[in-house]
């Protein structure tokens, strides 16, 4: 029976069915009292394409069309063109399939990990991927792009790695931090040149449809939105943890810069090896979530990819396994009906318990990269 669950084809089927069933379930729900659908994030992404090409401000409010603002790059709005051409009943399933299958393909191509470890990782992250798809979010795609950047670097394809990195950045800005992985590989100059070329290409691509002058205005609108958005919440993040547990509300920028400083120091002092490159990828996948003041529950499929890599590259001692189980319970199960509603509303949500185990894992990863890990002593 164990061998059955280790079949790659089974995971392809399960991921595909999950994407399709989630899509059908959301499509089947009636609009709410305000007329908004149960898959509004997809509608926002799709609408951005029309707003961009119509010469409108894609970052403005369109309450007659969608419930929230579009917050991604002009290139991402243009990327939604194939989906914009389709009715929702076709576009939404394809969108969720893209998020699910590109991520699964990346997991199955992960270097360093064994075949069984890849299978384990695919099963572990599936619940969080479902949460992301239920919100028609782009987090599966974001995680996939970061994994593909690492895979390309491992295969000595630095220009391709730069392309995946820039694509991730134009999807969600923090995707640019995948560039840190290039520190462990020899073709740094080639990678840097690739970053410049891909950035210019994707930044200017929408100009083919909008013109350069209007595109410049679109970027100014985007920048204004990002500045305003930064002050609006603390999310399921280190900032939220400090505020709810200790009543401390430090500067968001200060907390992010402190986290970035620790991340960079851990990378630069680590020995350059494939193992540490993989550990850095895990730390990055966690860092971009827990230091994101806008982190929401659907974002944590990215973090769970990092948790999986952390666990699979360790010795899997009893305490590491216990931490993995605790993380899975509070990250993947706490938003579900397995947790009674009073628990969710009075403990899990107010005390950002979904983020806390991920913060612990990130600290352990940082210590391991710095050579300050005491796991060996604990094992003895």
C-alpha 172/C-alpha 374 separation (Å) is: 35
The answer on pLDDT for 380 being more than 70 is no
The answer on pLDDT for 181 being more than 50 is yes
Lowest mean pLDDT among 14-23, 74-83, 314-323, 352-361: 314-323
**Which pLDDT belongs to residue 373?**
62
Mean pLDDT of 301-306: 98
Residue 253 makes CB contacts below 8 A (sequence gap 6+) with none
Q: Is residue 286 one of the residues assigned to a domain?
A: yes
**Which pLDDT belongs to residue 379?**
42
The answer for 70, left when phi > 0, alpha when psi is -120 to 50, beta otherwise, is beta
Which stretches of the chain are DSSP H helices? 2-5, 8-28, 40-53, 74-79, 81-84, 88-108, 115-134, 139-154, 158-171, 188-204, 207-210, 212-230, 238-246, 252-269, 274-290, 300-312, 318-328, 341-343, 356-370, 375-379
Q: Is residue 6 one of the residues assigned to a domain?
A: no
Look up the domain containing 303 and give its range.
Answer: 23-379
**Which pLDDT belongs to residue 232?**
61
Q: What are the tens digits of pLDDT across the range 309-321?
A: 999 998 788 999 9
C-alpha 93/C-alpha 112 separation (Å) is: 32
C-alpha 112/C-alpha 155 separation (Å) is: 12
Which range, 121-125, 228-232, 272-276, has the best average confidence (pLDDT)?
121-125
Q: Is residue 1 one of the residues assigned to a domain?
A: no
C-alpha 66/C-alpha 314 separation (Å) is: 45
Q: What is the mean pLDDT of the chain?
A: 93
The domain tally of the chain equals: 1
**Which pLDDT belongs to residue 348?**
87
Q: What are the tens digits of pLDDT across the range 13-23?
A: 999 999 999 99
The answer on pLDDT for 1 being more than 90 is no
Q: Is residue 338 one of the residues assigned to a domain?
A: yes
Q: Is residue 8 one of the residues assigned to a domain?
A: no
* The two structure tokens encoding residue 180: 């840190």
Q: Is residue 7 one of the residues assigned to a domain?
A: no
Lowest mean pLDDT among 42-56, 161-175, 245-259: 245-259
Q: Is residue 189 one of the residues assigned to a domain?
A: yes
The answer on pLDDT for 3 being more than 90 is no
Q: What are the tens digits of pLDDT across the range 278-299?
A: 999 999 999 999 999 888 999 9
Q: Is residue 10 one of the residues assigned to a domain?
A: no
Confidence of residue 376 (pLDDT cuts 50, 70, 90): very low
Mean pLDDT of 65-88: 96
């Amino acid at each position: 029976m164990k061998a059955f669950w280790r079949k790659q084809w089974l995971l392809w089927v399960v991921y595909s069915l999950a994407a399709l069933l989630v899509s059908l379930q959301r499509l089947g729900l009636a609009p709410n009292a305000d007329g908004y659908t149960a898959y509004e994030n997809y509608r926002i992404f799709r609408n951005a394409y029309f707003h961009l090409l119509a010469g409108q401000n894609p970052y403005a409010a369109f309450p007659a069309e969608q419930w929230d603002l579009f917050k991604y790059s002009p290139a991402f709005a243009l990327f939604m063109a194939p989906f914009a051409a389709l009715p929702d009943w076709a576009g939404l399933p394809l969108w969720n399939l893209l998020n699910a299958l590109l991520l699964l393909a990346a997991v199955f191509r992960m270097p360093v990990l064994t075949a069984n470890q890849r299978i384990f990782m695919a099963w572990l992250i599936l619940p969080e991927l479902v949460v992301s798809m239920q919100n028609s979010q782009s987090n599966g795609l974001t995680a996939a792009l970061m994994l593909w950047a690492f895979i390309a670097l491992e295969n000595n394809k630095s220009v391709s790695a730069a392309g995946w990195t820039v694509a991730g950045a134009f999807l969600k800005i923090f995707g640019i931090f995948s560039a840190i992985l290039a520190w462990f590989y020899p073709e740094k100059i080639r990678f840097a040149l690739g970053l410049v070329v891909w950035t210019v290409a994707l930044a200017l691509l929408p100009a083919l449809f909008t013109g350069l002058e209007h595109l410049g205005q679109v970027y100014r609108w985007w920048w204004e939105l990002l500045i305003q958005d930064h002050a609006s919440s603390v999310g399921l993040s280190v900032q939220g943890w400090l505020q709810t547990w200790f009543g401390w509300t430090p500067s968001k920028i200060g907390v992010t810069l402190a986290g970035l400083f620790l991340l960079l120091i851990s990378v630069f002092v680590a020995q350059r090896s494939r193992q540490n490159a993989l550990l850095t990828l895990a730390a990055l996948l966690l860092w971009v979530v827990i230091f994101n003041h806008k982190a929401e529950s659907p974002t944590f499929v990215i973090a769970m990819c990092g948790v999986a890599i952390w666990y699979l590259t360790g010795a899997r001692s009893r305490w590491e396994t216990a931490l993995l189980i605790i993380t899975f319970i509070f990250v993947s199960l706490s938003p579900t009906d397995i947790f009674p509603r009073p628990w969710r509303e009075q403990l899990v949500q107010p005390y950002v318990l979904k983020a806390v185990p991920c913060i612990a894992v990130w600290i352990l990863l940082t210590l391991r990269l710095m050579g300050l890990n005491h796991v060996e002593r604990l094992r003895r």
